[in-house]
Amino acid sequence: MIIFARKFSCKQTMVDTSKPIHINYPNFDKVVSQSLILVDFWAEWCAPCKTQDPILEELAKEMSGKALIGKVNVDDNRTLATRFGISSIPTLILFKNGERVEHFVGLQSKTRILQAIEKNLK
């Protein structure tokens, strides 16, 4: 099992952006409004989600300082899953300054995700 960065708190001033950050209902809007962030809606029991994890780890390292990678556990954050109409996981949503700009359902290649991120860095 991959262990991700400590839980993100909006009160923290330093966040390790080279690892995916955990996002939850209380901090979601603040986190996604501040930058370009790819949010992975996932669950521990989901096999495709576990396959997606190493790809997101790599992207977090490569995009550190340019874009964030975040994770929302849908079992722990049902309100967020409902809000974004998550019916299949993994679902990846790319937000730019709080606005949804890309949406992917199912396991995604590193290349496809990277293209979406780079397109929205401009």
Structure-token pair, residue 18: 């080279």
In a domain, 64, yes or no: yes
Integer Cα distance of 34 and 109 in angstroms: 25
In a domain, 75, yes or no: yes
Host domain of residue 34: 21-121
**pLDDT tens, residue by residue, 57-81:** 999 999 999 999 999 999 999 999 9
CATH number (domain holding residue 64): 3.40.30.10
Say what the pTM is: 0.86
Closest among 98, 92, 101 to 122, alpha carbons compared: 101
Integer Cα distance of 107 and 12 in angstroms: 31
Q: What φ, ψ does residue 112 adopt, rounded to 5°? A: -65, -45
Indicate whether 90 pLDDT > 90.
yes
- Number of domains making up the chain: 1
In a domain, 2, yes or no: no
In a domain, 1, yes or no: no
In a domain, 84, yes or no: yes
Q: Categorize the per-residue pLDDT at 6 as very low, low, confident or very high, splitting at 50, 70 and 90.
A: very low
In a domain, 7, yes or no: no
Which residues form the catalytic set?
A: 46, 49
End-to-end CA distance of the chain: 34
In a domain, 70, yes or no: yes
In a domain, 92, yes or no: yes
Structure-token pair, residue 13: 């001033």
Average pLDDT over residues 103-118: 97
Integer Cα distance of 14 and 16 in angstroms: 7
